[in-house]
Amino acid sequence: MRGGSESVRLSFCRICEATCGIRVRVSGNRVVAIEPDREHVASRGYACLKGMRFAEVQHSPDRVRHPLKRVGDAWQRIAWDDAIGEIGAKIRALVAAHGPDTLAHFMGSPAGATTLAPPIQQAFLAGLGTRQAYGVGSVDCNNKFRVNQEMYGSPFRLAFPDVPHARFLMLLGSNPSVSNTSLVHLPHSIQALRDVERRGGASESGSSGRIRTYNPSVNSRMLYH
């Protein structure tokens, strides 16, 4: 670690697509602390605990920093050129034996929140010739893109609810206090729900002053008031 005086860098969290604004305190080349950016135009000072604790991931002693090869029951460090060569040879052998669709790719949320990762992924998959491309969206949100494709002609014409003017808001299978309302990018989501209440917003039962969210997978209910 190089020494140096502490400074603050403005950035954004890449754990999910909410991309909340953050202020990163740095000393030398080490992250000292991460805090919400209260002046960020979108997140307005909100950031979840996962983003605030990411320095522990960045500097974790268990972080994998070099290629590792399984040798028996152990992992052995090998050179980058050797790792890339062996992986390439195995990929070519698999494609020759079973066709390109024997290979699949899974992209996590942090990669999707960067500019370069998606086009690089698509170029890589096109070079392999495989159609097996998956990601976190395969689990929780590809349905939204499909609906927008069918309704508006493009999967990226996402329809955002007009929450600031809503008088009735139903959230199914969602926990906005954790997800910050995925694909809605609603700053301070719980505060926004309470603002609906203050305007006299009604719940599904017709009574005022309540916003309820349901998770049908566990048949539970969360009540904000």
**Greater model confidence, 150 or 117:** 150
Give the mean pLDDT of 163-183: 73
The string of pLDDT tens digits covering residues 153-169 is: 988 787 778 888 888 77
How far apart, in whole angstroms, are the C-alpha atoms of residue 224 and residue 101?
A: 47
Contact 181, 144 (CB under 8 A): no
Compute CA distances 176 → 11, 84, 100, 190, whole Å: 23, 41, 40, 7
The string of pLDDT tens digits covering residues 190-209 is: 778 778 878 776 534 233 44
Residues with Cβ < 8 Å from 217, sequence gap 6 or more? 173
Residues with Cβ < 8 Å from 114, sequence gap 6 or more? 14
Contact 174, 213 (CB under 8 A): yes
Give the mean pLDDT of 118-135: 89
Tokens of 178: 């954790």
Residues of the chain with pLDDT > 90, as a percent, come to: 40
Tokens of 146: 């499909």
Q: Domains in the chain, start-ordered, CATH in brackets? A: 6-58 (3.30.200.210), 64-98 (no CATH), 163-224 (no CATH)
Question: Rounded to 10 degrees, what is the CA torsion of 178, 179, 184, 186?
Answer: 30
**172 pLDDT more than 80:** no
**pLDDT for the residue numbered 27:** 94
**pLDDT for the residue numbered 46:** 86
The string of pLDDT tens digits covering residues 4-56 is: 689 999 999 888 777 889 999 999 889 999 999 999 988 888 888 888 999 99
Give the mean pLDDT of 65-85: 96
**pLDDT for the residue numbered 126:** 92
Give the mean pLDDT of 83-91: 96
